[in-house]
Amino acid sequence: MADSSDFSDASSACYSVQSSPPLQPTGRKSKILEDIIEKLGPVTNVTYTPFECESRQSAKVLLPASFPSNPRPFDYFSLFFTPDIFKTITTNTNRYANLYRIRVQQERAREWSDLLLEELYTFIGIIIYMGIHHEPKIKLYWNPDFNIGPLHSITTHISLNRFQQIKRYCHISCPENDERNNYHLPTNKIWWYKLEPLALIIQKSSREYFSPSSKVSIDEVMV
pLDDT band for position 202 (cuts 50, 70, 90): very high
**pTM passes above 0.85:** no
d(CA 155, CA 144) in angstroms, rounded, equals 9
d(CA 208, CA 223) in angstroms, rounded, equals 21
d(CA 194, CA 181) in angstroms, rounded, equals 12
pLDDT band for position 12 (cuts 50, 70, 90): very low
Q: Does 113 or 4 have the greater pLDDT score? A: 113
d(CA 221, CA 44) in angstroms, rounded, equals 46
Whether the predicted pLDDT of 9 surpasses 60:
no
Q: What percent of the chain clears pLDDT 70, i.e. is strictly above it?
A: 86
